[in-house]
Each structure stands twice: as C-alpha cells, then as structure tokens.
Structure 1
Amino acid sequence: NEYTIYAKFRKYDTWTDSINDRAELLKKSSTYDVDGITNADEFAKRLEKWATDIDYSETLIKHMKKYDLYKFDTMTVEEFKEDSNNIMVSGDSELGNAIANSALSKRGCHYVWGASGPDTFDCSGLVWWACNENGVKFERTTASQLSKMGKSVKYEELQAGDIITFKTDPSYVSHVGIYIGNGQMVHAPNRTTVVKVQQITSGYYYERIYNCRRLY
C-alpha cells in the first residue's frame, strides 16, 4: 500500500515569533504536560517521552549548558527584547557569521586569564575557541600574535567574524575582539566582567584600535 503524508509548515517573520508560537503549543497541549514547569532541565525531561530520540532530553540539556541558555531563565521580557534587538550578526560570509555567532553564544561567561573555553575565556581565548569551533584551526596564541595573522582588513570593510586588535596598553597589542556587524564586537574584556557585546564606532575601544584581520 502507498500512503501520502501531507505536512503543514508555517512561516514566521522572525525567530521570536516562531519561539513564541512553539511555547504556546507546548503550554496549551495536554500531550506534553509542561504547563507551569519553570526548571529548564525538568522541562526537557518532560518532553523526552514524546521524542523519537531516546537521548532527546540529555541532548537538550547538553546544548543548554554549552550555549549558556540558562541565562534567559532570569531575564525579564523587557531585558530579553532589549538583548535581542541590540544583537544582530551582519556579514557576507557564512563562515564569518558562524564564528561571530559562536562567540556570541558565550555572552555572560566569566573572564579568566589564559582560559580558552568552553565556560571561561580571556580575549584571545574567545577568538581561538570561536574559530576552532567552526573549523578555522590555529595554535592557541595571544592578541599580539593574532594582530599579525590572516589578512589585513580596513576598518570600513569589516564583516562579521573578522577580528579587531587593540592597544589598551600603549606599549603593545593587548586586546582582541570579534566583529559581529553594525559597529559592534563581542569580546572578553577583563577579569572584572564577562563576555559581552561592545560598540566600537566611538569611545574607548575605537580610539585604541590597532588593526583588523580576517582569519578565515
């Protein structure tokens, strides 16, 4: 016998719309029994009995840990909207965009000098990790060495995934970040803060740019 299966697909204008619609489905459907569950790990476990993959819950939890998705549990709706609206990877290279998005997934991770991930980073460690995750391989190195690697890019021609090096200390290249587009970079600034997004069109970092490089 031959069977024809008709699948209905829905197109969304934004990622937020798709997430909200999926959330409504999960909340309203008695099938999943997740209404009122606020613990992310417990939520994942409730979905397991309806999944075709026996490791579904374990995989979800692993990805939530890897990409630090737990941070959204404590965000208000207003904070989420502000965070989402301000961050947009913009570049012509698929690989460059992937590098930028990998680095962005580590926002909120703590700075530790010499660390290369996956949960703590220094500035060059974040660059190394994001590139390595996307198949751009090189030895773990410093901001100073990164300023000599790849090919030179003009500031006006930066695209997502390119790196920007800085002389925060006048005597040497001491810092590096990953450009994500729209005049912003993601970086691991120092031990007093976490991996974050920074505007570089003016101000402290703009005034201390040393050069821009493309490693991919």
Structure 2
Amino acid sequence: MFIATIAMMLVAINPSSETASAKSNTSYDSVLKTAKKHLGARYVWGATGPTHFDCSGFTKYVYKKSIKKTIPRTAQQQYNHTKKVSKSNIKKGDLVYFGGSKHSISHVGMYIGNGKMIDSQNRGVIVERVYSPWWHVVGFSRPANLTY
C-alpha cells in the first residue's frame, strides 16, 4: 500500500511529463495545423469561426483553439495588448499588422515563415506574402512564446 501511494505521488508530480505537456500546449505546429485546417474558409466581417472569419477573428480563433491562448478580438486590440517584436526578431506564429499607423491597424495575419503569412481577407483564409504592394506593414507582435 505504501509503495503504491509513493508511486502514484511520483507520477502525479513527474516534472518531465509536465514539461512535455507544456511544450505540446504551446507548439507552433499545433498553431499552424489549426490555421491551415481553415484554408479556404469564407471571409465574413465580424466572424470569429469556426467556418467563417474576419482577420482578427481568425487569429483569435487559431490561438484559442490550438493552444488555449486568449487574445483580444480586434486587430487594433491585438496590436495594443500583445508583446511587440522587431522585424529582425519575427518568428513563426507571430502576428503581422497592417494599416496606416500603429494607431490605425486595419488588418492582421499570422507569420508562417519564408516571408509568408496565413490570414483571412476578402478572398477568405489564404497563405500569401507579407510584403505586397497593397499592404503597409505597421508592426509585429508575439501573443505566445511557442516551441518549435
């Protein structure tokens, strides 16, 4: 009985299982998988999923569904309330903001590497280049410290 109790206590506090669980809960792969699952979903202004999205509704949904991270609802709020990162420090999973200035954010997408992002815009959820003639990049933020 004593040995069984000790064994159960060790399993319950095993740091390696906690670490593995924490890593899987903040995995970029999980975030990307959730985002890609919705490629082709229709754009609807104000929609937050799971079948239709606007830009910030998409990023909010992906983070909540994949790693249980709650971020604000609008692109401007997401910019205002997440940790800013420089262009030189951008990582996969970071958010990319567009608009006239940091005070007038009009669009958000999620960086997926190689100069590309996944976002929801008038053509629905797609993968496209971050730097295009029709976008003015305002900044980047990191809503969560993801594992890669």
Same-fold status (TM-score > 0.5): yes
Q: Deviations over 1:30-86 (max 9, x none)?
A: xxxxxxxxxxxxxxxxxxxxxxxxxxxxxxxxxxxxxxxxxxxxxxxxxxxxxxxxx
Q: Would the alpha carbon gap of residues 181 and 112 (structure 1) be closer, same or farther in structure 2, given more than 3 Å must change? A: same
* Contiguous gaps of at least 5 residues in structure 2: 1-25
Find the counterpart in structure 2 of residue 98 from structure 1.
Answer: 30
Higher relative contact order (CA 8 A, sep 6+): 2
Q: C-alpha separation between the residues in 2 aligned to 1:120 and 1:95?
A: 24
Q: Would the alpha carbon gap of residues 210 and 130 (structure 1) be closer, same or farther in structure 2, given more than 3 Å must change? A: same
CA contact (8 A) 1:121 1:188 kept: yes
Larger Rg, first or second structure (1 or 2): 1
Percentage of pairs with the same residue: 32
Find the counterpart in structure 2 of residue 63 from structure 1.
Answer: none
Q: C-alpha separation between the residues in 2 aligned to 1:118 and 1:128?
A: 11
Find the counterpart in structure 1 of residue 108 from structure 2.
Answer: 176
TM-score of the aligned structures, taking structure 1 as reference length:
0.50
Find the counterpart in structure 2 of residue 128 from structure 1.
Answer: 60
Q: C-alpha separation between the residues in 2 aligned to 1:168 and 1:197?
A: 22
Alignment of 1:40-55 (within 5 A): none
RMSD of Structure 2 on Structure 1 (CA): 2.1
Find the counterpart in structure 1 of residue 86 from structure 2.
Answer: 154
CA contact (8 A) 1:97 1:180 kept: no
Equivalent residue of 2:124, what SS? Answer: coil
Find the counterpart in structure 1 of residue 3 from structure 2.
Answer: none
Q: C-alpha separation between the residues in 2 aligned to 1:171 and 1:150?
A: 14
Find the counterpart in structure 1 of residue 75 from structure 2.
Answer: 143
Equivalent residue of 1:116, what SS? Answer: coil
With 134-143 and 151-160 compared, the bigger mean Cα shift is at 134-143
Find the counterpart in structure 2 of residue 195 from structure 1.
Answer: 125
* Contiguous gaps of at least 5 residues in structure 1: 1-93
Find the counterpart in structure 2 of residue 5 from structure 1.
Answer: none
- When the two structures are aligned, how many residues end up with a matched partner? 119
- Greater share of strand: 2
Q: Deviations over 1:137-180 (max 9, x none)?
A: 32551000111222111112211111011106897111000011
Equivalent residue of 1:165, what SS? Answer: strand
Q: Would the alpha carbon gap of residues 165 and 196 (structure 1) be closer, same or farther in structure 2, given more than 3 Å must change? A: same
